[in-house]
Amino acid sequence: MNLKIFLGAILLNVSLFAHGVFYEVVDGAIGIRVTAPNNIAISNATITIYAPEASLPFTKGKTDVNGNFAFMPDSYGEWRVKINVPSNHGPHLKDFKINIDKNFKVKSYEKVPYDRYMKILSVLGFLLGIFGIIILFKNRKKG
């Protein structure tokens, strides 16, 4: 009798695991963060990912409340990303490429033009500021 109760309890416990939720953490996800120019996260932006040399989307979804979206590439190469941020004055569209290496890591990606030219703009701003200070001192001496 005790054996039947013991076996019944084991079977009951095993069947309970069939209704559980399981998860595992997998390396290799590629994350994208969508923000406004003032670094405020943009939620609900539509993101469409295209595998290398594919015309149909690999995956599609929306950014979360923190502006994040992630996907797991299944091949290396040049992946295309399209971002669509709707607004009351029309959609804001971005289209760029991400190069994934054979280890499924980001090798490179196209940066926003602002990021590409930030150093040049910073140096120009610095030089203009110094020039403005020199002109200010020269005009004070004349006055």
Whole-model pTM: value is: 0.64
pLDDT tens digits, one per residue of 45-86: 999 999 999 999 999 999 999 999 999 999 999 999 999 998
Query: Two tokens at 125?
Result: 């701003």
Neighbour tally for 105: CB within 10 Å: 13
Mean local confidence (pLDDT), 11-19 = 51
What pLDDT was estimated at residue 22? Answer: 64
The percentage of residues in the chain with a pLDDT greater than 90, rounded to a whole number, is 36
45 CB-near residues (< 8 Å, 6+ apart): 34, 62, 63, 67, 69, 83, 84, 85
pLDDT tens digits, one per residue of 118-137: 677 778 888 888 888 888 88
User: At 122, phi and psi to the nearest 5?
Assistant: -65, -45
